[in-house]
Each structure stands twice: as structure tokens, then as C-alpha cells.
Amino acid sequence: MSHFETDAIRIQNRSNEREHSSPIYLTSSFTFESAEEARAMFADEIPGNIYSRYANPNSSELIAKVCAAEGTEDGIATASGMAAMFGSIAALLQQGDHILASRSLFGSTHQLLTRVFPKWGITSTYGDISDYLNWEKLVQPNTKMLFLETPSNPGLEIIDLEWAGKFAAAHNLILVVDNCFATPYLQQPAKWGTHIVTHSATKYIDGQGRVLGGLILGKQELMKEVQFFTRHTGPSISPFNAWVLTKSLETLAVRMDRHCENALKIAQYFEGNPELDGVKYPFLPSHPQHHLAKKQMKAGGGIITLTLKGGLARAQRFIDQLEMISITPNLGDSRSIVTHPASTTHSKLSTEERARVGISDGLIRLSVGLEHHEDILRDVERAIEKSK
């Protein structure tokens, strides 16, 4: 395969119309030349589109591009990131199985593991990222899957993917990594022995806050199980959303370069600010797992956290003083976005539970956008001053 940038632009399902940009295939089903061709396609004897719940040229193009980027064999695209998280677990596990997961997980993934899967007899145990070298003791005889997120949301903790690949192989576990924060441009978990890579394509892959989408990618034999599950349970992505996401992939590399460049400049600028208890960014040498971030990521990503002195009230005053940066739950957008996890995304957790995943009351998550870094910086600086 060619370089990331080239594949993301040049992989294309060109039709007989010789179009330059891919069209949107708004069709529920596809036609057959004969009864025999219909029979053979349903029997998987010959390839071809049958019905858009199974596959559609737009979702196939999206999957081909992301597989090239991640170094995975096959995949499926789903209507949202959560459909991908759910599908990757539900398709591969059964009643009585157990999941070992990192405690710092996306909020809805936490709900899946603690409220949804237990209804079907699939249980899970959390391990602390700060202690992952001691996770041996958390493996049970029925543990079948290791589910990780790195960098984590919003604590930006990093797990050693090389360690994770070896740990999963030693215990015969299916290793699933939610690669949403890093994107395949910055990190390819499959290189380190990850079996299944999942994405919320809603974030950086779209990158402009327009559509929802998700991806499950991995080895062919596992993807066969996942495809069976999704074909018959129906979390398919719409052709329109898949089309938006394939076009977005064409600019992912240049966008990520700028997100990372802006984020690093802002993190460096605010580090040591007397109004802050800390600035966290994977590519700052002060990050506790800086060496790991350097080892497995091409750059530090677009998310930084700032911890304001003065706790919850100060954090809320700070947000109210921002003039440009948006207050909204999304991330990975061209527009800079601020979130206060303790009062929003992680408000259902107790103070102790939040502390265990690195969320203090003064913590602000900043998704650094593509505006000029000086304008982002000025907005944050002004709000820090005015919230005193």
C-alpha cells in the first residue's frame, strides 16, 4: 500500500460512469442479472452488493480506506461509535464470558459494561491504568476480552499497546482498542497485536461535527463473526454519512497535523500558569507516560486538559467567560470545544470514582480546533483571568 495520505485520497470505488468524486449510492437494494446470480451472491459464492443493511458502495469505500490506514484486514461501518463498541463485544462474546477493561472508558461504553451486558450474563472487571502492569490478578478463567482506550477520555492516560498485545496473547484474550482519540493517523493498534480496533468516526474522522458514524476493524476471521452479527441486527451506517466520512478521510492527515500542532503550542503556553493546578498533554515531557506516547503515537493528539485552581465553581465561571470556544459535548471538531467532565459527561460517577480516572472538579477538557492558535490561546487566557 501507499502512504497514509495517498490511500486516504486515492482508494475509491469508481463506477462505470467514470466520476472523479465518489457519488452517494442512495439505494436500499441492488439488482441481480438472474435468479442464479441472486442465489450465488446470497450463498457468498460470488462477491457483490445485495442489500444496504449488509453493504453499500459508500460504506465499502469507507472501510477500505480505514483498513489501509489501520493495517487491518476487514471491517464494518456502523451508524454511530456506540453501535461499533456494542457490536464488537456482542458479536464475539456470549453468556458467561468476562471482560477485563481499563477503568477510564468513554461514558456510554461504561454503561454498556455495567448496565447492558450483565443483563445477558456478560460481566466485566475494571483495572486501573496506573497499575496495569499488575493486571494478571484480574484475569479470570472465563475472561475472553481485554477492552482498552488509549489515550483515555478525558484523563489522557496512555496504556502501553505493546504490553497489551503480549498480555492478550499470553492469556488468549481478544484485544479490543477504541482508537477514537488518536485516529489511525497517529496510532495503529493492530501493529502491536490488537485484534479489533473500534472508532467513533463522529469525532476526528468527520472532524467537522456533522455526522455520526462508527467502525469495527480487524482480522478476517473475527470480522466474519462481527459481520454476521451486524448484518442481522442492523446498525448499518447510512450511505450519506459513509460518503461524508470517506471525503473527510481525504483531509484527516492535514487536519490532525494542525490539531496536534495547535494543541502542543497551547499546552506549552499554559504549563506553569499560576492559576492552574496542571496542564496535561501526551507530548509534554511532564506527562507521566510521555515516553509511551512518543513510542506509539506520531503526535500528541488534539485534546488537552487544564485543571483550574478553585474547583467546580471556578471551572464553571471559566467556561461562562469564554467568548469563542464552544460549549458542546463533541470533540475532534474544526471548532475548539470545551467540556467540564465533572458536571456533565462524568457527573453520574461519585467524586471518588472520578478521582480514580483522573477527573477533579476543576478539570477542563479542551478539544483544540483548527482556528489560529493565538485566538484559541487568547480566549482561554482571558477566561482564566476573568474567572478569578
Ligand X SMILES: *Cc1c(COP(=O)(O)O)cnc(C)c1O
Name every residue whose Cβ is closer than 8 Å to that of residue 202 and which is 6 or more positions away in sequence: 80, 81, 211, 212, 213, 214, 330, 332
Which amino acid, 131?
Answer: D
- 3 state DSSP class of 220: helix
Q: Which stretch binds ligand X (CB under 6 A): 77-85, 225-233, 258-266, 376-384?
A: 77-85
Instruction: Indicate the residue among 83 and 292 with the shorter CB distance to ligand X.
Output: 83
Coarse DSSP helix, strand, coil percentages of the chain, rounded to the nearest 5 percent:
45, 15, 40
Q: Which stretch binds ligand X (CB under 6 A): 49-57, 101-109, 156-164, 257-265?
A: 101-109
Q: Are 122 and 89 in contact (CB under 8 A)?
A: yes
Instruction: Indicate the residue among 83 and 139 with the shorter CB distance to ligand X.
Output: 83
Which single residue brings its beta carbon nearest to ligand X? 81
Instruction: Indicate the residue among 13 and 111 with the shorter CB distance to ligand X.
Output: 111
Instruction: Indicate the residue among 211 and 383 with the shorter CB distance to ligand X.
Output: 211
Find the largest Cα–Cα distance for the chain: 74
Name every residue whose Cβ is closer than 8 Å to that of residue 348 and which is 6 or more positions away in sequence: 107
- 3 state DSSP class of 151: coil
From 80, 305, 336, 367, residue interacting with ligand X (rule: CB under 6 A)? 80
Please give the torsion angle defined by the CA atoms of residues 277, 279, 282 and 283, in that order, rounded to the nearest 10 degrees.
Answer: -130
Instruction: Indicate the residue among 336 and 387 with the shorter CB distance to ligand X.
Output: 336
Please give the Cα distance from 339 to 342 (Å, whole number). 9
From 90, 159, 180, 368, residue interacting with ligand X (rule: CB under 6 A)? 180
From 62, 82, 159, 222, residue interacting with ligand X (rule: CB under 6 A)? 82
Q: Which stretch binds ligand X (CB under 6 A): 22-30, 102-110, 155-163, 306-314?
A: 102-110
Please give the Cα distance from 320 to 5 (Å, whole number). 39
Q: Does 202 help bind ligand X (rule: CB under 6 A)?
A: yes
Encoded one letter per residue, x for contact with ligand X by CB under 6 A and - for no contact, window 30-49 reads --------------------
Q: Which stretch binds ligand X (CB under 6 A): 66-74, 104-112, 218-226, 251-259?
A: 104-112
Q: Does 149 help bind ligand X (rule: CB under 6 A)?
A: yes
- List the one residue out of 357, 292, 303 whose CA is nearest residue 158: 292
From 22, 153, 262, 305, residue interacting with ligand X (rule: CB under 6 A)? 153
Q: Does 110 help bind ligand X (rule: CB under 6 A)?
A: no
Site for ligand X in 113-142 (CB under 6 A): none
Name every residue whose Cβ is closer than 8 Å to that of residue 293 and which is 6 or more positions away in sequence: 151, 158, 282, 283, 287, 300
Q: Does 194 help bind ligand X (rule: CB under 6 A)?
A: no
Strands (DSSP E) along the chain, which ranges? 74-78, 98-102, 123-127, 143-149, 174-178, 196-200, 214-218, 276-280, 303-308, 326-327, 337-339, 363-367
Taking the complex as a whole, how short is the minimal distance between the CB of residue 336 and ligand X, in angstroms? 16
From 59, 72, 76, 81, residue interacting with ligand X (rule: CB under 6 A)? 81
From 200, 227, 238, 339, residue interacting with ligand X (rule: CB under 6 A)? 200
Instruction: Indicate the residue among 216 and 380 with the shorter CB distance to ligand X.
Output: 216
Q: Does 302 help bind ligand X (rule: CB under 6 A)?
A: no
Q: Which residue reads 461535527 in cell numbers?
A: 209
Give strand pairing partners of 276: 308
- 3 state DSSP class of 159: coil
Q: Does 178 help bind ligand X (rule: CB under 6 A)?
A: yes
Q: Does 204 help bind ligand X (rule: CB under 6 A)?
A: no
Instruction: Indicate the residue among 22 and 102 with the shorter CB distance to ligand X.
Output: 102
Q: Which stretch binds ligand X (CB under 6 A): 52-60, 78-86, 120-128, 291-299?
A: 78-86
Q: Are 366 and 325 in contact (CB under 8 A)?
A: yes
User: Which residues contribute to the site for ligand X (CB under 6 A)?
Assistant: 80-82, 85, 106, 108-109, 149, 153, 178, 180-181, 200, 202-203, 212, 214
